[in-house]
Amino acid sequence: MALKNIIIGITIIILTFSVVVYGIATFYERPSYNDFCPDVRIAKVIESQAECESIGGKWTSFEKECIEKPCPVKGSCDPDFSCRKDYQNALEKYSLILFLITLPLGILIIVLGGVVFGLEDVGAGLMGGGVFTILYGVGNYWRYSGDVLRFLLSLAGLVVVIWFAYWFNKRKK
């Protein structure tokens, strides 16, 4: 009987997490690289710094002497340099908003699992889904945050979970 409850709990974790991830994706679209840097930019060979910079690219000069005359290309162009920066900025903003959505949502799911549902496998499954929801949001934003913010978020999360554990167990008695 206990194995059935464990399997049900794990299934609820997976499905709760899926509902959160796909629910957010349905209503809040992730930025797409192609919206910022269309594939058309790659089709053309760029052989001069002026041409490269005119399309928002970044030119890197080769520091070597030419053996052949006339000298072939003296550098290379990264045509997606500017648009990639715009994409990264949009992705950072998206990740912050995703984090701000998933953190309270994950905590809410954990609280619902701990307080509302009397069946242990259902409550534990929802609580696990809440944990994965928080990890999803934190994981997406973690690379953009500094050490101080990471420390404060981790500390705040730890304090909230310890408080909730004490509150829940005290209430249960």
The token pair that represents 98 in the structure block: 């995703």
pLDDT at 72: 61
Question: How many Cβ atoms from other residues are within 10 Å of residue 126's Cβ?
Answer: 23
Residue-wise pLDDT for 82-119, tens only, equals 889 999 999 999 999 999 899 889 988 988 888 887 77
Q: By C-alpha distance, which of 161, 100, 102 is closest to 135?
A: 102
Residue-wise pLDDT for 117-164, tens only, equals 777 888 889 999 999 999 999 889 888 888 898 898 888 878 887 887
Specify the range with the lowest mean pLDDT, choosing from 11-15, 102-106, 167-171: 167-171
Spatial contact of 11 and 125, defined as CB atoms under 8 Å apart? yes
Compute the mean pLDDT over every residue in the chain, rounded to the nearest whole number.
Answer: 84
CB within 8 Å of 161: residues ≥ 6 apart? 110
Degrees (nearest 5) of the Cα angle 142, 58, 95? 20
Entry pTM: 0.74
